[in-house]
């Protein structure tokens, strides 16, 4: 059992034993994410003091106006992984297409690809609310030594080697899993080192928090509407508390610690859902299951969804097991809504 003063670097080195055939690439990759996170954290903490708040001039592939910090965070993570040449390809929510990374020795000899949401919740930047970074790591499926292809990124979530997030809030934390539980590390701003602060994180079996943007209530499928009515009933253990920040990382982090459910369903305004399968839902689902929770699209397991496109959107339900099971009981009353 690790002590709480264990550094992230020490933890990563020890956990290499879980990967019998690795030669250290995954450890170096996670270390590069740690480095980029520290750089982005430094910039986020200067927001308001330098000209980095507000909109950038560009619209991203999602049709969303980019924030200046979106662009900055994307550049930092892309540069860190490209310059260190520890991955063969990166796909970012902020990029139209994946980026193939070629090593100096003339071959694409690295084993891993990374999918990343560089700054989740960026619409909250200007009002000083917590934002985050989400990442997902896979083994490539095409032959080592050849350029990466789309199929290297379009893998089921069950194939993830590692996933995690960084939350930039009152304290900065890096939370990740390699399939052997979830552990959280808090950045010491005085010395710039991440220390183990939240070992073996688990969702409580149930909770009393539901997180959803209820402003779209009239556009939700009937199963979601019925579940929300259940959450609001006045009983011995309800109504539940509604808590919605609008940053997936922040909402998920709170619910994992306190117990709760996060819901971003389809709606008449977003008939395929809004969250991205590869950049948001798969990594958060991997963390959820490793933390004893459930993650689904309302009917089936998120990690079993076969991706068909790089920026694919899906509905998303995740959290404490009993709460996700309960919302399923309402969704299953309307099976014709499965393709809504």
Q: Which of 2-6, 10-14, 79-83, 161-165 has the highest mean pLDDT?
A: 161-165
For residue 126, what pLDDT is reported?
74
Q: CA angle 191-193-198, nearest 5°?
A: 130
Q: Is the pTM of this model over 0.75?
A: yes
* The residue count for the chain: 340
d(CA 90, CA 72): 16
Nearby residues of 245 by Cβ (< 8 Å), 6 or more positions away: 121, 124, 129, 130, 211, 251, 254
- Kindly tell me if the per-residue pLDDT of 254 is higher than 60: yes
Instruction: Express each pLDDT in 66-110 by its tens digit.
Output: 567 888 899 999 999 888 778 999 999 999 999 998 766 544 678
CA separation for the pair 54, 84 (Å, rounded): 30
Residue 56, both tokens: 């950038």
Q: What is the mean pLDDT of the chain?
A: 89
CB 179 within 8 A of CB 19: no
Average pLDDT over residues 180-189: 95
From the annotation, which residues make up the binding site for substrate? 120-123, 213, 244, 274
Q: What per-residue confidence (pLDDT) applies to 56? A: 46
Known binding-site residues equal 93, 117, 119-123, 213, 244, 274, 280
- Classify residue 191 as exposed, middle or buried by CB count within 10 Å of its CB (0-12, 13-18, 19+): exposed
Please tell me which residue, 279 or 65, carries the higher pLDDT value.
279
Q: Please state the domain extents for the chain.
A: 8-198, 209-334
Asked whether the CA dihedral 68, 70, 74, 80 is positive or negative, the reply is positive
Identical topology for domains 8-198 and 209-334: no
Q: Tokens 């992230």 appear where?
A: 8
Q: Does residue 49 surpass a pLDDT of 50?
A: no
- Domain range 209-334, its CATH number among 3.30.930.10, 3.30.1330.10, 1.10.10.10, 3.40.190.80: 3.40.190.80
Task: Report the topology of domain 8-198.
Answer: Fructose-1,6-Bisphosphatase; Chain A, domain 1 (3.30.540)
Round to whole Å and give the CA distance between 197 and 105.
40
Average pLDDT value for residue range 102-130? 80
Q: How many helices (H) and strands (E) does the chain have?
A: 7, 17
- Of residues 15 and 260, the one with the higher pLDDT is 260
Residues above pLDDT 70, as percent of the chain: 88
Q: What does the pLDDT look like over 269-281, one tens digit per residue?
A: 999 999 999 999 9
Q: Give Dmax over CA atoms of the chain in angstroms.
A: 66
**What is the pLDDT, as a whole number, of residue 103?**
66
Residue 48 scores a pLDDT above 70:
no
Q: Residue 221: which residues within 8 A CB-CB, separation 6 or more?
A: 265, 266, 267, 298, 331, 334, 337, 340
Annotated binding site for Mg(2+): 93, 117, 119-120, 280
- When pLDDT is averaged across residues 312-336 and rounded to a whole number, the result is 95
């Amino acid at each position: 059992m690790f002590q709480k003063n264990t550094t992230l670097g020490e933890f990563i080195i020890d956990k290499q034993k879980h990967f019998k055939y690795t030669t250290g690439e995954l450890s170096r990759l996670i270390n590069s994410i740690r480095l980029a996170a520290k750089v982005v954290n430094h910039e986020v903490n200067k927001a308001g003091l330098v000209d980095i708040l507000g909109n950038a001039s560009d619209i991203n592939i999602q049709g969303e106006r980019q924030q200046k910090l979106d662009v900055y965070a994307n550049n930092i993570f892309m540069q860190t992984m490209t310059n260190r040449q520890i991955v063969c390809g990166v796909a970012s929510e902020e990029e139209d297409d994946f980026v193939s990374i070629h090593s100096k020795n003339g071959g694409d000899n690295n084993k891993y690809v990374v999918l990343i949401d560089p700054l989740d919740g960026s619409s909250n930047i200007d009002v000083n609310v917590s934002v985050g970074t989400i990442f997902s790591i896979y083994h490539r499926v095409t032959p080592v030594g050849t350029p990466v292809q789309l199929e290297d990124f379009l893998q089921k979530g069950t194939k993830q080697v590692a996933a995690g997030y960084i939350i930039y809030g009152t304290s900065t934390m890096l939370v990740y899993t390699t399939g052997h539980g979830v552990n959280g590390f808090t950045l010491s701003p005085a010395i710039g080192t991440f220390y183990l602060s939240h070992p073996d994180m688990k969702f409580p079996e149930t909770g009393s928090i539901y997180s959803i943007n209820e402003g779209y209530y009239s556009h939700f499928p009937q199963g979601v509407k019925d579940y929300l009515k259940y959450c609001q009933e006045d009983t011995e253990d309800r109504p539940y508390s509604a808590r919605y920040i609008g940053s997936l990382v922040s909402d998920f982090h709170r619910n994992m610690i306190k117990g709760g459910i996060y819901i971003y369903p389809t709606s008449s305004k977003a008939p395929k859902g809004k969250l991205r399968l590869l950049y948001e839902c798969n990594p958060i689902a991997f963390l959820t299951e490793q933390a004893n929770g459930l993650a689904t699209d309302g009917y089936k397991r998120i990690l079993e969804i076969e991706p068909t496109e790089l920026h694919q959107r899906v509905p998303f339900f995740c959290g404490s097991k009993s709460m996700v099971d309960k919302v399923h009981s309402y969704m299953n009353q309307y099976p014709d809504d499965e393709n809504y």
